[in-house]
Amino acid sequence: MEKDFLKKIINSLFKTLEKLEEREVYINNLNVFPVPDGDTGTNMLMTLKETLESTNNDDLENFLNDVSKNIVLKAHGNSGIIFSSFLKGFLNKILNFNSDEANILTKAFENGVEASYKILDNPTEGTILTVIRESVRGMKEGKDLIEKIEKSYIYGLEALEKTKEMLPSLKEADVVDAGGDGFLSFLESIYEVFTDQSIKREKATSSPFNVSIWRKRPVYKNCVELIADKRKEDFNIKEKLKKLGDSIILVEDNEKIKIHIHTNEVDELLKLVNEIGEIKEINIRNMIKQQLEFLLDVEIAVITFSIGENIRELFYSLGASIVIDKDENLSYKDLVEIINDMPSQNIILLPNDKEILFKFEKISELETKKIEIVETLSIPEGIEALLNFDREKSFDENILNMRENIKKIKSGFIDISKENLSIKDFEIKEGDFFATINDEIIVKGENLFKTIANLLNKIEIYEGSLLLIYGDEIDSDEVKKVKIELKKDFPNLNVEIYNGGKRINKIIYSIK
C-alpha cells in the first residue's frame, strides 16, 4: 500500500483530534440524547486522544493497526464507542484490502458503518449513526477519490441537519445530534487532508440549548463502562443486560468484552459480568450529578416545588435551578442527595406548599452546605420569591428580599362548587364560583368575573398586580374576556393570566 495514502489517513485522525478539541464544549452543549449530561464532546475527544497518545510506532501500517486494536477499549460514552467501532472497521479494511485509493476508502467507509451498527441491538436513527450511514452513501456515489470525499462530507452534513427533525428530543431542543456533529469533524478532516482545502463551518464557541430538556433528570443514575477478560461465553448476556438498564452497547472478541450501560443496578451488573470473566477496568459515572454540575455552576441555587410542566417551565424561566414536581413524593433522603450532588454551596428552598414545608423543614440543618428555606406556601408565593431573586446580590440579601416580598401578596384559589354548601355566612349553590384566602372562603359569585370583582372589593385592593393561573379545564377564551372586563372596572390593576396546564384544576391567584 502507498505510504502517502497511509500518511493521509493518520493525518486525518490527528486533524480530527484537533477539531474535537476545538468543538468539545460546543458538542457537549448539543448533548440531549440519549441522556442530557453534557459529555458527548468530551467522550469523543478522549476516545481518540487516549488512543493516539498511547500508540507509539514509527511504521505507518503498524501504527494504524495498533489504533484499530486499541480504540474500542479506549472508548468513552455512547457516541465514543460508536465512533471507535466505526474507526476500527474503517482501519481494518484500509489495512487489509488492496485496490486503488478511491475503492479502498469506499470499502473502508462501508466496513466502518457495518461495524458501528453491529454493536447496537436497536440502532436509533437521528443520531451519529445516521450521519455515518449517509456519509457512506455519498462516498459510494462519487466517481473518483476527490468526488467521493466531497460527497461523503456533503451527505454527512445534510444528514446532521436532518437529525433535529428525526428525534423528538432534538427537535424540542432545536439542536442537531451531538455525536453526529463530532463525526462530521472526522469527515471534515478527511476532506481537508486529501483535497488540501479547508472547510469553514460555524464557529464552535457556544451552542444554544433548551434548558427544559437539559433539566429532565435521567431515568438511570449510573453510566457504567467496563472491560473484562472472558472466561466463558454467555450468548444471552445482551438480554440479561436489557433487564438492568438501557443505552446498552456490547463489544466483544474471543478474549475481551466491553460493556456500556445506563443502570440503577450496579451490583447486579457486576455480579453478571463476574460470572463470565474478570473485570479489568471499570468506570461508573453518576449521570444525575454530572448533569447538575454541568448546569448549575452558580453561587446560589434555588430549588423549588411545582405542579405540572407549565408551572415548572415558568419557574425555570424565572431563574430556578431545580424544579421538583410535588407529586414525585420525594423523600428527605432524596432531597439531601440532590443537594449534595449540586456544585452550589448556597441553596434556597421554596416549598410552595404547607405539607412540603413541614416535610423538609429540617433540611436547613444539613451541615454540608448553607441552606435556607423561604417559607412559601403556594405557587404564587414561589413565583413572587423568584421574581425578587437577584444573582448579583448576596445569599442573605436574597433571603431577606424574598421574605419581605412574599408578605406583600395575598393568594388563594377560585373554584366552582360541585355541590350546595353552607359555610359560615355563605350559602353556596352547586355551580357557584367562590374564592379563598388562607384556605378560607371569603366571597362567592355567579361567574368568574363577578367572583374576582367581589374578591377585590372585599380586600379593598384596586391597584397593583393580579396574577391568574388557570388549568386546561378552564376555557382560555373566557379567562381572556375576564381580563378585559377587569381592566375596564379596575383600570389601575395590572392583570396577568397564565395557563398552568392540565394539572391545575382550579384558578390560582395572587394579588400584590
Residue 398: band (very low, low, confident or very high) from pLDDT cuts 50, 70, 90: very high
- Preceding amide of 343 cis, omega within 30: no
Question: What's residue 210's pLDDT?
Answer: 44
Question: What's residue 187's pLDDT?
Answer: 94
What average pLDDT does this structure show over 458-484?
A: 84
Question: What's residue 305's pLDDT?
Answer: 92
Helix 3-30 and helix 178-195: axis angle, to 10°? 150
Question: What's residue 290's pLDDT?
Answer: 65
Residue 296: band (very low, low, confident or very high) from pLDDT cuts 50, 70, 90: low
Question: What's residue 216's pLDDT?
Answer: 56
Q: Which residue has the higher pLDDT, 93 or 199?
A: 93
181: helix, coil or strand?
helix
Question: What's residue 110's pLDDT?
Answer: 92
pLDDT, one tens digit per residue, over 457-469 is 888 888 888 888 8
Residue ranges of alpha helices (H) inside 254-394 are 266-276, 287-295, 308-317, 332-341, 354-359, 379-387
Architecture of the 410-511 domain: 2-Layer Sandwich (3.30)
DSSP string computed for 215-236: TSPPSS-EEEEEEEEESS--TT
Bin 441: left if φ > 0, else alpha if -120 < ψ < 50, else beta.
beta
Which residues, in sequence order, are CB contacts of 12 under 8 Å at separation 6+? 186, 189, 190, 193, 194
Question: What's residue 1's pLDDT?
Answer: 56
Question: What's residue 397's pLDDT?
Answer: 93
Average pLDDT over the chain reads 83
Answer yes or no: is pLDDT of 373 > 90. yes
Which residues, in sequence order, are CB contacts of 44 under 8 Å at separation 6+? 20, 27, 76, 77, 79, 80, 83, 179, 182
Domain 3-208: CATH superfamily, name plus number: DhaL domain (1.25.40.340)
Helix 40-53 and helix 178-195: axis angle, to 10°? 40
Q: Which residues pair with 300 in a beta bridge?
A: 346
Answer yes or no: is pLDDT of 34 > 70. no
Choice among 146-160, 374-388, 494-508 with the minimum mean pLDDT = 494-508
Question: What's residue 422's pLDDT?
Answer: 72
Right CATH for 222-287 from 1.10.580.10, 3.30.360.10, 3.30.70.260, 1.20.120.420: 3.30.70.260
Fold (topology level) of 296-406: Rossmann fold (3.40.50)
The ranges assigned to domains in the chain are 3-208, 222-287, 296-406, 410-511
Answer yes or no: is pLDDT of 491 > 70. yes
Question: What's residue 473's pLDDT?
Answer: 76
Answer yes or no: is pLDDT of 211 > 50. no
Answer yes or no: is pLDDT of 206 > 60. no
| Distance in angstroms (rounded) separating the CA atoms of residues 361 and 372 | 10
The continuous run of DSSP H or E covering 78 comes out as: helix 77-95
Percent of the chain with pLDDT over 70: 91
Residues 45, 24 contacting (CB under 8 angstroms): yes
Rounded to 5°, the CA angle 228-232-237 comes to 70
Percent of the chain with pLDDT over 90: 20
Answer yes or no: is pLDDT of 154 > 80. yes
Question: What's residue 293's pLDDT?
Answer: 58
Type of residue at 247: S
Residue 277 half-sphere exposure toward CB, CA atoms < 13 A: 22
- How much is the pTM? 0.55
pLDDT, one tens digit per residue, over 439-448 is 788 888 888 8
What average pLDDT does this structure show over 315-324?
A: 83
283 phi and psi angles, rounded to 5 deg:
-135, 120
| Distance in angstroms (rounded) separating the CA atoms of residues 277 and 230 | 4
| Distance in angstroms (rounded) separating the CA atoms of residues 66 and 62 | 6
pLDDT, one tens digit per residue, over 222-240 is 888 888 887 777 777 878 8
pLDDT, one tens digit per residue, over 104-132 is 999 999 999 998 888 877 778 888 899 99
Answer yes or no: is pLDDT of 207 > 60. no
From the list 332, 333, 403, 339, the residue with the least C-alpha distance to 370 is 339
Question: What's residue 204's pLDDT?
Answer: 46
